[in-house]
Amino acid sequence: MLALLSEFIRNVGHTITVIVMDKDHMEQPRSFLVEPGKVFWSLAGLATGLILVVLALLLFTPIRFSLPGYGSLEMRREAIENQMRLQSLEDSLRVQTEYVTRLRDMFLGNNPALDGTGSSSRTESLPAAADLQSLPLPLGSEDWEEHEQPALGFDLLSVAPPTTSPASTPTASYLSALSFPVLPPVSGIITRGFDARTGHFAVDIAADVGSAIRSIGDGYVVLADWMNDGGQVIAVAHADGYISVFKHNSSLLKRVGDRVRDREVIALSGNSGEVTTGPHVHIELWQNGLAQDPRAYVLGW
């Protein structure tokens, strides 16, 4: 083989005759006129074509994802999601640590919320509503203090007097006022509470994906859409300025403008959105623009 290749190299630029015959000389020999230069150029072109085909397969087909060290867009997106989830978990862990610390101090009689007479000088009835003044203030609303519970800042809102009596309007006669405490809109346990200082104007309820989410009262759907952080979000406007919001749903069963009744199923729980730590329902309750702690309004929370 090397001898044949050397003959081709020595005769580049010339035409040579190649005689082909079988080993036992049983068949008639066949001769071919060959130009070694053209043979080499043909082989080089074939090799170049094969290289281009391989590169095209690696660059423009899913085969490139199998290459070591190649990160896909999906992998990078998942990495960002995992980082955001980790940050949320750290925030939840900090709140839970504060909660456990307050419980321990209460059981040991070291609760700083007790005054010298042995009675509580704080108005909050839940340990999770502890004083967070010593904690760093994260990025969030600059007016978080206005949402501290109880958030009854009606004197802060400039509201024009109604031109007609409420009883004469169709909405007032149709929508029944919310009767607090209302039944829980979804079955589950609270994994994170209301915290105005950190901008968490809600409670998180751990629930299986597909759990029914019910309206807390009569109202109209004012928002039913996808949001980047909250996933499938639905909001219902009720009488007396209340708005209930439910985030991270797997599907929405109502559209904007739909009329809903008390305890009517409006969505199914899920784990949608970029900022989520697992299957749960993020529940907010607002009145006249101020966030309310849903735990004070829902039976059993």
Listed by start position, the domains of the chain span 2-66, 72-136, 140-296
Q: How confident is the model at residue 128 (pLDDT cuts 50, 70, 90)?
A: very low
| pLDDT single digits (tens) 50-106 | 999 988 887 787 776 666 666 566 677 778 888 888 887 787 777 777 767 776 665
| 8 Å CB contact between 114 and 121 | yes
List the CATH code of the domain at 140-296. Answer: 2.70.70.10
Q: What does the pLDDT look like over 204-257, one tens digit per residue?
A: 999 999 999 999 999 999 999 999 889 999 999 999 999 999 999 999 999 999
Query: What tokens appear for 10 in the block?
Result: 């020595």
Would you state the structure tokens that stand for residue 76, as one six-digit string? Answer: 């990078």
Amino acid identity, residue 273? Answer: G
- Give the C-alpha separation, 75 to 66, whole Å: 13
Got the DSSP string for 265-277?
EEEEEB--SSS-S
For 214, phi then psi, to 5°, come to: -110, 150
Q: Do the bridges between strand 242-252 and strand 280-287 make them parallel or antiparallel, or are there none, so unpaired?
A: antiparallel
Q: Per-residue pLDDT tens for 26-66?
A: 777 888 888 888 888 888 999 999 999 988 887 787 776 66
Token digits of residue 4: 């044949």
Instruction: Give the predicted TM-score (pTM) of the model.
Output: 0.49
Distance CA 147, CA 134 (A): 19
* CA dist., res. 147 & res. 6, Å (int): 90
Share of the chain above pLDDT 90, in %: 39
Q: Which residues are bridge partners to 246 per DSSP?
A: 234, 283
